[in-house]
Structure 1
Amino acid sequence: MTPIRVAIADDQRLFCSGIQMLIESQPDLRFVGAAHDGVAAIALAHDARPDVMLMDIRMPLLDGIEATSRILAAGDNPDDETGERVADLGATITDAQPKVIMLTTFQRDEAVIRAIHAGAEGFIMKDTTPEFVLASIRTVYAGHSVIAPSDTTDIIRARTSQRHREPAAGSIAALSAREKEVFLLAARGLSNADIAQTAYIGETTVKRHIRSILAKLSLTSRVQIVAHAYEHGLLR
């Protein structure tokens, strides 16, 4: 089996070294490099072609959220103070973008929502266990998101509760009746198995509905479903 290529972007070099040793201890993973600022993270994604990238939210030169957005949005040519090197990299990254897991030190970090909108597949705490880091890498590589639904909904609820928002049912008008049901169940953080049991359908059918929902709403991950639901007043 081809090893999963893993990279990390974090300005704490000791932390990066620890992650490197952890990755290199696993036969199914391969460590392909580390970057210590956001601009270098874009270069690393371009040069090393990792399958999964661990990305710190707060880094010098360019934060992890903006770096993630530029890595995943191939063809963008941002014009800012970081210079032409970033623009060039943004233009040359191909369709083989890595799946990004954000690293944070705050469990209720509102920057996580920005990271989700940027296309991150989820987030993990930097003080989590090595076993959870490894499980997260494998889970994201397999096509799933890694995030605690309660954490996600708490962050979004805190951000949206300050203003009354009428439900915007039109935001999911493109979905079929069954897709709307699956959307709301997924937005509450239910797993595929739980959705299947609740909606009396098979897990394969759930996966098919989730793919269709993401495509129709121009979303990229299950965590974006959660954000979409709360930000349009579809959950309370």
Structure 2
Amino acid sequence: MTTAGVLICDAQELMRAGLRGVVDSQPDFTVVGEAGDGESAVAQALTLRPDLVVMGVRMPCLDGISATAQVRAELPGTHVLVLSACDRDEYAYAALRAGASGFLVRDTSAAEMLVALRGVLRGETMIAPSVARRLIDRYVTGAVVPLPDARLDTLTEREREVLCLVGRGLNNGEIAEKLFLGETTVKTHVARILAKLHVRDRIQAVVVAYESGLVRPGG
């Protein structure tokens, strides 16, 4: 069995101890280090090169969002799961923008935490349900003012079509059926879209699509 190395970063020692207990209780995880501030988190990540970093938001020296951005810039293969004391939308949004693969609140149960950790390692984006619901509502109500994004100019017309449908929540099979394409072809288009937009996954691509106005609520 492959064991994933986890770096735990949080300002509160008690929180780190709790997380260590949850992580170390599983045979597929091992805690490789701990950090109590943002600067130490970045330094230890660069030294230890963990598979996953659990990052608190409010930390001394350097906040967790900034630390996440630095870790992701230096170690693109390392996943970051941001953990916050509250489910404020701006924290979640900033975490995703910084390159985090997930955002959870501290009162998440141990079982849910483990599900999220494993999901992040599989390349999924894990967001606390309450936050995910509000972020969706934010776009549906049209509260976000579209901003032009030059990255969209690099997409072909077909890739823009595919991105629009991804933004509508369609999976590859549904997109293939709608555009009369093979599912393998759709997968290729999605991979090229992610590369051209310089984003990690479909969720971040959807964020770009809505922020730029390519996909509009109710459109």
The structure 2 residue matched to 1:150, chosen from 133, 144, 161, is 133
Secondary structure at the aligned position of 2:34 is classed as: strand
Is it true that 1:181 corresponds to 2:161 in the alignment?
yes
Residue identity opposite 1:211 in structure 2: A
- How far the C-alpha of 1:60 sits from its partner, in A, is 1.2
Please say which of residues 145-154 and 33-42 is displaced more in the overlay. Answer: 145-154
Whole-angstrom distance in 2 between the partners of 1:4 and 1:103: 19
Q: In 2 relative to 1, CA 176–185 (structure 1 residues): closer, same or farther, beyond 3 Å?
A: same
The structure 2 residue matched to 1:134, chosen from 114, 118, 121, is 114
Instruction: Report % sequence identity.
Output: 39
- Where in structure 2 are the equivalents of 1:33-44 lying within 5 Å? 33-44=33-44
Whole-angstrom distance in 1 between the partners of 2:43 and 2:136: 33
Is it true that 1:121 corresponds to 2:104 in the alignment?
no
2:152 corresponds to:
172
- How far the C-alpha of 1:208 sits from its partner, in A, is 3.3
Q: In 2 relative to 1, CA 153–5 (structure 1 residues): closer, same or farther, beyond 3 Å?
A: same
- How far the C-alpha of 1:150 sits from its partner, in A, is 3.0
Whole-angstrom distance in 2 between the partners of 1:223 and 1:43: 28
Alpha carbons 1:156, 1:227 under 8 Å: kept: no
2:48 corresponds to:
48
Secondary structure at the aligned position of 2:123 is classed as: coil
TM-score (norm 2): 0.81
Pairwise CA RMSD: 2.9
Secondary structure at the aligned position of 2:6 is classed as: strand
Q: Which runs of 5+ in 1 are unaligned?
A: 75-94
Alpha carbons 2:144, 2:211 under 8 Å: kept: no
TM-score (norm 1): 0.76
Whole-angstrom distance in 1 between the partners of 2:133 and 2:201: 16
Please say which of residues 205-214 and 58-67 is displaced more in the overlay. Answer: 205-214
Secondary structure at the aligned position of 1:120 is classed as: coil
Whole-angstrom distance in 1 between the partners of 2:105 and 2:173: 25
Deviations 1:186-219 (A, max 9, x none): 3345555665676676665554333211111122
Alpha carbons 2:52, 2:78 under 8 Å: kept: yes
Alpha carbons 2:8, 2:16 under 8 Å: kept: yes
Secondary structure at the aligned position of 1:106 is classed as: coil
2:216 corresponds to:
235
- How far the C-alpha of 1:179 sits from its partner, in A, is 2.8
Whole-angstrom distance in 2 between the partners of 1:162 and 1:21: 40
Deviations 1:155-211 (A, max 9, x none): 5668x7275x48x59753433344333323333455556656766766655543332
Residue identity opposite 1:21 in structure 2: G
1:8 corresponds to:
8
- How far the C-alpha of 1:122 sits from its partner, in A, is 2.2
Q: In 2 relative to 1, CA 182–120 (structure 1 residues): closer, same or farther, beyond 3 Å?
A: same
Secondary structure at the aligned position of 1:54 is classed as: strand
Alpha carbons 1:4, 1:52 under 8 Å: kept: yes
Please say which of residues 181-190 and 27-36 is displaced more in the overlay. Answer: 181-190
Q: Which runs of 5+ in 2 are unaligned?
A: none
Q: In 2 relative to 1, CA 213–109 (structure 1 residues): closer, same or farther, beyond 3 Å?
A: same
